[in-house]
Amino acid sequence: MYAILDIESTGGKYNEEGITEIAIHRFDGHQVVDKFICLINPEREIQPFVAKLTGINNKMLRSAPKFHEVAKRIVEITEGTVLVAHNAQFDYRILRTEFRRLGYDFQRKTLCTVDLSKQLIPEAESHSLGKLARSLGIPMSDRHRANGDALATLKLFKLLLDKDSDKKIITEVIREETHGELSPNQLDMVFNLPSETGVYYMHDKDGEIIFLGKTKDIKKRVNQHFTNVGKIARKLQKETKKVTYESTGSELIAILKAYLEQKKNRPRYNHVSKKKLFTHTIDFSLNGAEHIVLDVEKDRTLEHKKMAFNGTEAAKSFLNKINEEFELCPSSLGEEVCMSEQNKGIAENCNEKVRAAFEKYSIQNKDIALTDRGRQTGERSFILIKNGRLQGFGFVDLNHQINNIHILESIMTPMKSDENTTFILEAYLRKNNRLKTIPLTR
């Protein structure tokens, strides 16, 4: 649990500042579950430059509650959380100073989004909240007011959680939370999970990921792990002390994330094969012939104009599908000799149908975004493909125009591309027509 925090102060000498406004959003890693926003009478004068910057003046604060009147609420909303702020050292120091004046030792763990953004977005020109938000397309309002900056910090933190493919943030938090403590029971773990599409992570007592998987129903799948009787299931039941998750909305993003994160993190109980995910290919090129003949070959390499399949049945099923959809010439499937020997125009017509099928179901050489449902109402997900290679994924509001590569690159979470990710993408496109394909401009 996190408490996204922003404080506006009076300015002045070190440790003599007072709080003029505070905003706290209690965030469970997925949504805000509580919030507290309040002007505060600091019982001291605001520095003129601060009043000009924030728009908060002494007159506005005369009838505002004093800190001791809201202290209990601040303790309650931050109980059991990690404080998250942009330049957390400042906000935490100011908050502790106010509590110290009341004779109370306020202590919380902290995370600084300045430090996290330097680690996860090192290429950013500036890591100040305003400039970072603009470069990432994060909308900001009420700049230099507590709630405006807190909401921007919250959106930035969500983006950083998405970009944290090594799961360093959550691992460190869990290690601190569970050190020397008993884990919650499995029933509680399952109860707190959503019935949503995404990736789930099973952690041991040290916070290390021992298993991760993708699913359309996180609650149902984790419950199966805890009720199955297999060898791996028994080990997971014994060693799992916490389950975390990431909602993706899109099943395809969940599949790609699970594949890449298993490969990168190599959890103890995931079987991560070094082999290719596909076994056969279909070649859509002429290969020096006059007529394209589609044939299933046992092959673990993806070359130009080839599509990959996991087994001959899958490949033959696809051939049947495009044969019906594009009314392919029998000779394109190797069933009879084409009349192209007498008429090159017939051969070219047959080849055009094959090329049309390849163009529809292949991502080779394309600059496109694949869009799908988002994690919540009013949001959609996107997968960015550039020059036929996977670049990353992200989430945008429904009214956001998705057609510019550079904008999508600034807000996406990068993903590494290989032949397996190409196979995953194309295999999904062959089976699902719910994805919307948007051509991109540079």
The answer to whether residues 220 and 195 touch, using CB atoms and an 8 Å cutoff, is yes
DSSP symbols for 114-133: HHHHHHH-TT-S--SHHHHH
Whether the predicted pLDDT of 23 surpasses 80: yes
Residue type, 87: N
User: Are the C-beta atoms of residues 412 and 163 closer than 8 Å to each other?
Assistant: no
Domain end position, chosen among 163, 194, 214: 163
Q: Are 374 and 395 in contact (CB under 8 A)?
A: yes
- My answer on whether 230 and 148 are in the same domain is no
Q: What is the DSSP letter of 27?
A: E
Rounded distance between C-alpha atoms, residue 139 and residue 124, angstroms: 17
Predicted confidence band at 176 (pLDDT cuts at 50, 70, 90)?
low
- Same domain, residue pair 186 and 298: no
Q: Does one domain contain both 10 and 71?
A: yes
The CATH number of residue 207's host domain is 3.40.1440.10
In a domain, 272, yes or no: no
| Distant-in-sequence, close-in-space partners of 46: CB < 8 Å, separation ≥ 6 | 10, 11, 20, 56, 57, 58, 61
Asked whether residue 194 is assigned to any structural domain, the reply reads: yes
Residues 349, 374 within the same domain: no
* One domain, residues 41 and 148: yes
> Tell me, what's the pLDDT at 288?
73
Q: HEC profile for 386-417?
A: ECCEEEEEEEEECCCCCCEHHHHHHHCEECCC
Q: Classify residue 58: in a domain, yes or no.
A: yes
Residue 212: what are its φ and ψ, rounded to 5°?
-140, 145
For 89, the domain range is 2-163
Specify whether 64 is located in the same domain as 84: yes
- 240, 265, 290 - which closes a domain: 265
CATH number for position 49:
3.30.420.10
Q: Is residue 84 part of a domain?
A: yes
Report the distance separating Cα 113 and Cα 138, nearest Å.
14
Q: Is residue 294 part of a domain?
A: yes
Whole-model pTM over 0.85: no
Sign of CA dihedral 332, 338, 339, 340: positive
Residue 382 lies in a domain: yes
Q: Which residues contact 163 (CB under 8 A, 6 or more apart)?
A: 120, 121, 413, 414
> Which position has the higher pLDDT, 171 or 31?
31
Whether residues 233 and 303 fall in one domain: no
For residues 340 and 284, membership in a common domain is answered with yes
Tally of domains in the chain: 4
Residue 143 lies in a domain: yes
Q: Is residue 414 located within the same domain as residue 356?
A: no
Do 212 and 338 reside in the same domain of the chain?
no
Q: What is the dihedral of CA 297, 300, 304, 310, to 10 degrees?
A: 70
Q: So what's the pLDDT on residue 391? A: 96
In this predicted structure, the answer to whether residue 159 has a pLDDT above a threshold of 60 is: yes
Tokens 């003599």 appear where? 16
Rounded Cα distance between 331 and 27, Å, is 61
Q: What is the pLDDT of residues 324-376, one digit of tens each?
A: 999 998 888 887 655 544 555 677 888 999 999 999 999 999 999 999 999 98
Q: What is the pLDDT of residue 407?
A: 84
Backbone angles phi, psi at 379, to 5 degrees: -135, 150
**Sequence-separated (6 or more) residues with CB below 8 Å from residue 250:** 197, 372, 373, 374, 381, 383, 393
Position 90 in a domain:
yes
Cα-Cα-Cα-Cα torsion 196, 34, 130, 99, nearest 10 degrees, comes to: -140
- Amino acid residing at 208: E
180 band by pLDDT with thresholds 50, 70 and 90? very low
User: Which of 351, 356, 361 shows the shortest CA–CA distance to 287?
Assistant: 351
Please check whether residues 117 and 141 belong to one and the same domain: yes
pLDDT at site 349: 87
pLDDT tens-digit series, residues 57-100? 888 898 999 999 999 999 999 999 999 999 888 898 889 889 98
Q: What is the mean pLDDT of residues 277-298?
A: 88
Asked if residue 328 and residue 224 are part of one domain, the reply reads: no
Which of 337, 361, 385 terminates a domain? The answer is 361
pLDDT for 178 beyond 70: no
Reported as a single tens digit per residue, the pLDDT across 390-419 is: 999 999 987 777 778 888 888 899 999 999
Range name among 103-112, 205-214, 398-407 with the lowest pLDDT average: 398-407
